[in-house]
Structure 1
Amino acid sequence: MAYAEKVYKVRNGKQTKQFTWRSRYKRPDGKWDSEPGFPTKKTAEDWGDAQEAAIREGRWVDPQLARKKFGVFTEEWMKAQAPRGRTTMNRRERLEAHILPKWEHTPLIGINWFEVEAWARGLTCAHSTTKDAVGLMSRILNGAVDARHLAVNPLFGRRLTGLPAATEGVRKSADEDMWAPPEVVLQLARRMGPVNGLMIVTTAFAGLRYEEAVGLQKSRTLLTRRQQYDGGTFTCPVIRVDGKDGVLAEYYVYDDDKKRKIFRGLEPPKTKQSKRDIDLPPFLADLLEKHLAGMQGDFVFTAAKGGWWWRSTWCEVLRPAADGREARPKARGTANKEAWEPIMPGLDMRALRHSHDTYQAQLNVHPVLAHEQAGHKYPGIKGTYQHPTPEMRKQRLEGLQRLYERALGNLGWESIWE
C-alpha cells in the first residue's frame, strides 16, 4: 500500500525544519518508486494509491515516461514507422522547420491543445502546412499513448479552424491554380521536341503523375484493354501503372546520425487506386508507338544521356520552354539559343496533370471513370457499386481525340512536330 514520507529541505548544506511530502508506491515489477513535491501527507498518499490502483487495472502510465521530452520520443516514433520514403522526408521537413523548434524540449505531459493551437495560429506558412504539422504532432502523441507514455492524446479529435488571415496571403503554387488548354500543351510540346514534348503530351492527355511518367517502362506501354461490349469486344491501348517498380521515387533519407542523402529508385505506386490501366486516345497511342519503335532502353521518357530524369534537371528543360528565355549567342562550349516568347509562365508537371482532369470534367466523363483514370478513390458507397463501362471509356477517348484535333486546327497545324 502506498505511503508518504517527509523530505526536509536543505539550505547551505544543512537540513532545515521545512519539508514536503514524497509519495512511495510499488511499481508493476514490485519495486518501490517515489514521486516528490507534495504539500501534505494526504495528497502524497492519495497520489500513490491512485498509481497502485491504475497498475492493478492495467492503465498505469509511468510518470518518468510521461516526462520524456517530445523531441526524444519523436525520434523513437520515427524509427518505429515504415512509410514510403517520400512520406518520411515530408515528415522530417515538418518536424525540423516547424514543430521541433517549439516543442523539442517540452515534456510529453506538458503538451496541451490550448498552447498547440496558439502556436499554430502564429505560424506564417500556408494553412495546409500548418494543419499537416498539427496532424503530425497528433499522430506522434497517439504513438505516445500506444507506448504507454501518456494516458490520453490532448490533440486527439481537435480541429484547427479559424486560422488568422495573415497566412491567407501565402500565394498558391502554380500547380494549385493552373491548367493548360490543349493548344498550350501542343505549343509547349513542339518547343521541347518529339521526345521531351511527348512526355508533356502524355501527362496532359493521360494524366500521369511525374514519377509515373519518368518511371514508365516500355513493357507497360501500349498494352491492350479488353472488355465485352455490344455483342463483341471493346479494345483500347493502355499504359499500365502497377507492380513493385511502377514509379520512380526521389527523396531524402536520413541515416542514424541524421545526415541527409538522396535516394532514387523504383517503388510500387502509393495507393491501390494508383495501380491502374490508363486508356489512351488514338492520337496518343500512335505517337507512343512511333516513339517506342525508335527508342533504346527500358524506360519511355529519359534524359539526354539515357538515364532517369532528376526533378531539378527536368525543371531546367521545362522552365525556359514554358516561361520563355532570352537569346544567347554561340560561345565557346555553348550553342546558340534563339529567344523564346513565354507560352504559359509557371506551368509545371502537376499543372499538366490538373489539365487532364479538367479536360475530363469538360467532356463530362463519368466521375467513376474519371477517378479511376486519375488514380483517385471514388468516394462513398458509389465507389463500390459503380464501375466504368466500355461506353464510358469510348466517350472519354473520343472526347480527348476531339480536343487534340481541335487544338491542331486552331493552331493551323497538321501535326505537333514538323
Structure 2
Amino acid sequence: MDITDVHQLALNASVFWGFPGYVFILTMAFTGMRPAELYALRREYAHPTWPASDLDDEQREESIERYLVEQTMPAIRVQYQHQWKASVLTLLPPKYDSHRTLVIPRFLAELLEMLLDSHDSEWVFPSINDVPLAKANFTYRYRGKIADGRRTSTPRSKGGGRGGTWRPLPGWPTVKAYAGKRLYLLRHGHREWIDEDGHSRVAVESRMGHEIAGVEGTYSNVTPTMERAIMDSLQARWQGFVVTSGADSLPSSPKPLPVDLLTWMKGKVSAAQVSNTPSGS
C-alpha cells in the first residue's frame, strides 16, 4: 500500500465529504479497522475521550493504567460494528467478538482531537448529512466518488431543470490503485505495513482482530512494548511521507474547514524535516 495513494484518497474525501472524510481515510489506513467498525465508532471510544469514558469500570481502570499512566499511548477502542438487523441499523459486537484496543500514531491522535472538537455528533465520522455513516450507503455514494475521481460540477440553475447539481464541487483526481475497488483494501494494506515493519505475530493478529490458534495463541500476550513499537513505526511512516511530499501533501477543501488543517499540515512537514535532519548539519 502506497502512502501517497492513501493520502490522495484522504484529500479527495476532504473535498467531497469534508474534514471527517480526511480523518476517516487516514484512520482506516493507520488502524486497519473494518469499515463497519469505523461506521460505529462512537466518540466515547475514540482518542482523546477513551479510556476515561469507558463504561466498564474494570476495563477503564486497566486501560488508564496501561495507556496513560505507564506510558502515554493514544488509542481507539473497537467496541462495536454497525449492521442492519431486521431492517434496523443496530450496534453489534465487532466481527468474531474481536473487541480490541488499537494504539495510534501521534499525528492521527491530533487529527481525532481536532475532529471531535469540530462537531457534537455521537459518531466520530458523521456523514455529509449528519446521520450515521452506515445509513449513507457508503460503498455507492462515497467510495466510488472518493476513489474514482470526479469532474468539476456546475451549480444547478434556480429554475431547476436538467444539468448541474445542488452541491457543486471542484474536481479531484482518480486514485488508480483503488478505482473501482473496495476501500477495504486499506485494511489489507495496514496489515502489509505492520508486517513489513517486523512486528511480532501476536501483536499483528491481535491488532487485526484475529486469534492465533493452538498453544501459541494460548501463551502469547500483547505487551505495552509491542504496542509502543507499532505506534512509533506508524508515526515514522507518516513522517517519512510528509518530509518528502512537502507542500504537495497540503489538504484543500472547497468550503471552509472547521479546523486550520493547512497550518496543521505545515507544522507536520516542518517537524518531520527537523526530525530527519542529522545532528550537526
Q: TM-score by structure 1 length?
A: 0.50
Letter in 2 for 1:365: H
Map residues 283-302 of structure 1 onto 2, 5 A cutoff.
283-302=107-126
Give the counterpart letter for 1:184 in structure 2: D
Q: Separation in 2 of the partners of 1:308 and 1:301?
A: 8
Which residue of the partner structure matches residue 46 of structure 2?
A: 221
Matched, 1:237 2:62: no
Q: Deviations over 1:288-315 (max 9, x none)?
A: 0111112112111111221112362453
Q: Matched residues in 2 for 1:351 and 1:228: separation?
A: 31
> Could you tell me how far apart the structure 2 residues matched to 1:400 and 1:313 are?
26
**1:219 Cα deviation after fit:** 0.8
Aligned partner letter, 1:189: A
Counterparts in 2 of 1:45-84, with a 5 A limit?
Answer: none
Distance 2:171 2:129 in 1: 25
SS in 1 for 2:184: helix
SS in 1 for 2:74: strand
Paired with 2:44 and 2:167, the residues of 1 have a C-alpha distance of: 36
Give the C-alpha shift of residue 318 in structure 1: 2.4
**Quick one: distance in 2 between partners of 1:311 and 1:364?**
37
Distance 1:302 1:199, change over 3 A: same
Cα contact 1:204–1:356 (8 A) shared by 2: yes
Q: TM-score, normalised by structure 2?
A: 0.72
Alpha carbons 1:227, 1:390 under 8 Å: kept? no
The equivalences for 1:273-292 within 5 A come to: 274-292=98-116
8 A Cα contact 2:12 2:172, kept in partner: no
Aligned: 1:398 with 2:222: no
The alignment partner of 2:4 has SS state of: helix
Tell me the matched-pair count.
224
SS at match of 1:249: strand
Q: Does the 8 Å contact 2:127/2:136 carry over to 1?
A: no
Is the CA contact (8 Å cut-off) linking 1:183 and 1:408 kept in structure 2? no
Give the superposition deviation at 1:320. 1.9
Contact 1:408-1:415 within 8 A present in 2 as well: no
CA contact 1:292–1:300 (8 Å) conserved in 2: yes
- Displacement, 1:346? 2.8
In structure 1, C-alpha distance between the alignment counterparts of 2:102 and 2:66, rounded to whole Å: 18
Q: Which AA in structure 1 matches 2:114?
A: K
| 8 A contact 1:328–1:336 mirrored in 2 | yes
Rounded to whole Å, the distance in 2 between the matches of 1:336 and 1:302 is: 20
Establish whether residue 267 from structure 1 lines up as the match of residue 117 from structure 2: no
Which of 166, 183, 190 is 1:334 aligned to? 166
Q: Which stretch of the first structure deviates more once superposed, 329-338 or 283-292?
A: 329-338
Please list the CA deviations of residues 159-212 of structure 1 after superposition, one character each: whole Å capped at 9, or x if unmatched.
Answer: xxxxxxxxxxxxxxxxxxxxx321111121122112112111101101111111
Deviation at 1:227, TM superposition (A): 5.8
Report SS of the residue matched to 1:305: coil
Shift in alpha-carbon separation, 1:362–1:287, aligned structure 2, 3 A: same
Q: Tell me how far 1:334 sits from its aligned partner.
A: 2.7
Using the alignment, how far apart are the partners of 2:136 and 2:187 within structure 1?
Answer: 16
Q: 2:140 aligns with which of 312, 315, 334?
A: 315
Shift of 1:277: 0.9
Aligned: 1:371 with 2:187: no
Provide structure 1 residue ranges, at least 5 long, that are not aligned to the other structure: 1-179, 254-261
Classify 1:228/1:278 alpha carbon distance in 2 versus 1 (closer, same or farther; 3 Å): closer
The unaligned stretches of length 5 or more in structure 2 are 52-62, 158-164, 252-260, 263-281
1:113-124 superposed matches below 5 A: none
In our comparison, the structure showing a higher alpha carbon Rg is: 1
Q: What is the CA distance between 1:322 and its match in structure 2? A: 1.0
Q: Would you say 1:306 and 2:143 are equivalent positions?
A: no
Which of 307-316 and 204-213 deviates more? Answer: 307-316
Contact 1:248 1:265 in 2 (8 A): yes
**Per-residue CA distance 1:342-364 (angstroms, 9 max, x = gap):** 11313433111111111111111
1:270–1:335 Cα change, 3 Å: closer
Q: Distance in 2 between matches of 1:356 and 1:198?
A: 15
Structure 2 contact 29–189 (Cα < 8 Å) conserved: yes
User: Larger RCO: Structure 1 or Structure 2 (Cα < 8 Å, ≥ 6 residues apart)?
Assistant: 2
Contact 1:183 1:410 in 2 (8 A): no
Q: What is the SS of the residue equivalent to 1:375?
A: coil
What amino acid maps onto 1:399 in structure 2?
A: S
Does residue 1:343 correspond to 2:175, yes or no? yes
Partner AA of 2:213 in structure 1: P
Quote the Cα distance in structure 2 between the aligned partners of 1:304 and 1:311: 9
How far did residue 278 of structure 1 move?
A: 1.0
Residue 226 of structure 1: how far off its partner (Å)? 5.0
Q: Per-residue deviation at 1:377?
A: 0.8
More strand by share: 1
Match for residue 11 of structure 2? 190
